Structure 1
């Protein structure tokens, strides 16, 4: 019974760690998306400036 409880605890901990890793990956991906979107916006602004000259 004790070993079954330990096994359940280990599975629960592993599941929690996997969920935390998944959330971190999603946050990192979202941050990267915003960084890229900001860079593209800046580049388009520069191109627009030169086109207007």
Structure 2
């Protein structure tokens, strides 16, 4: 999946926002002010991080 498709997938979720709270490279998606995913724009092909219940 390309980063544009991943971004679109995340943003269609109700209440989702995107921001760069850490630096200009780390894209973070949040719902209700809580982070659920982040990825590097420069190294997107190496993977993404997702938050989930343990």
In the superposition, the TM-score normalised over structure 2's length comes to 0.24
Q: Which has the higher contact order (CA 8 A, sep 6+)?
A: 2
Point out the structure with the larger helix share.
Answer: 1
Select the structure of larger CA radius of gyration: 1
Point out the structure with the larger strand share.
Answer: 2
